[in-house]
Amino acid sequence: MQKGFLTLFLTLFLACSSAQAGVADRAAQDEVLIGATLPLTGAEAKTGVAFKEGYDLAIESANRAGGVLVSGRRIAVRLELLDDHSSPADAVSLAEKLIDERKVKFLLGTYSSSLVTAQSAVPELAHVPYVNGGGAAAEIYTRAPKYVFGLLAPVDLLAYSEMRWLDVQQNEGRLPAKMRVAVLWENTAHGKDFRRGVIDFATKTARRRSSYEVVFDDSFTLDAPDAKSLMAKLKAANADVFLADAHLPDFIALHKQYVAQKLCHSVVSYGARGSERQAAEALGRENVDYILSAVWWNSQLGASGLNKEFVQSFQAKHHRLPEWYHALGYETARVLLAAIEQAGSLDREKVREELAKLDIETILPGGRTRFNGHQAQYPFVVQQNQPDGSSPIVYPLELAQTKGTAVNPKCVSKALSAR
């Protein structure tokens, strides 16, 4: 009798355990758990917070529709987000924690090429699909990743876009026929890509070699530029245009010293930086007038379709226009969710396969998202700050709202007053 009772007990126990496991499995399938780290504190905090706003908006939008569509039913999406403190080491260890301890199915990337370069090795090793909108350096993708995908178009194309606008101005007689160019770049893979884009453009043909002269070519340490010394050397170079590549905090530090030393060039650019609300607040709006920047997205693209929907949703929530940081965060999350829906599964390999062959409508310039060598390729928009606080698109010509200002009128005024 005891033996029969024990057998019955074990049978009931196993049945109960099996039922509980089934409930747990179904519960796990009732949400898609996505992990991410962002620099919410530290040097890149302002941009990290902007990316978070983009991630949140995309996931909220998906959940308002009932979640992502997988195998004919909607599943809610949950984002497990950790602060990597702008530290490559933390970006790595926290990505491992998200995969090993938090059991996330997929990863969204952190922000800045240096952090993404370090972090992307983790999902690659763990075979976890990883979509980032914060790493543009070619080094990330020349390692031939299988699971890592990037929404930022290459930085050398950014430099090329700015140089093409300068070329138009020069051909139309607004800039000198022999243009003296100063190039300043952060000493990282990101900065080297920017420098290569400028130098390659300026030296590619005999005509360009006769039209451009690089008179200043220097680098600085990421997060610690010797701004005073660099600006003194820049002043001595007597360049016509000053083209720099810098992340937001370094742009602010460098341009403060640029203003303090009363420098003035016909054209000034800090790569993708210059139009940010935070920069105007830190530097004074009048000190960012006429800065040129080439960006991955501009709110003026939002006249219709997905762009209009994104801009309106962002404005409704935050009561301000989005910047490119917000747009890239939003689109990064949206692309991952689209790949999950196209896979119709939460299987990592199936989602990876869908990312590799993805071809969908996008809010980014060009209108389609495709990964070429795991990095999206699309045209940059070049914009220029105006005294009224706007930053209209000046290039490419088919999108341009104005030709832009080739010679900063403040420099003309200074030159006349010095005579």
Q: Provide the token pair at 184.
A: 């300043």
Digit-coded pLDDT (tens) for 94-108: 999 999 999 999 999
The average confidence (pLDDT) of the chain is 91
Q: Whole-prediction pTM value?
A: 0.88
Residue 93 — very low, low, confident or very high, per pLDDT cuts 50/70/90?
very high
Digit-coded pLDDT (tens) for 260-318: 999 999 999 999 999 888 888 889 989 999 999 999 999 988 778 999 999 999 999 99
Q: How large a percentage of the chain has pLDDT more than 90? A: 85
Rounded CA-CA distance 44/111 in Å is 8
Give the distance from CA 326 to its chain's centroid: 9
Structural domains of the chain ordered from first start: 30-153+301-376 (3.40.50.2300), 156-295+386-418 (3.40.50.2300)
User: Is the separation of the CB atoms in 145 and 131 below 8 Å?
Assistant: no
Check pLDDT > 80 for residue 167: yes
Digit-coded pLDDT (tens) for 319-365: 999 999 999 999 999 999 999 999 999 999 999 999 999 999 999 99
Rounded CA-CA distance 390/280 in Å is 11
Rounded CA-CA distance 24/1 in Å is 34
pLDDT at 4: 53
Check pLDDT > 60 for residue 419: no
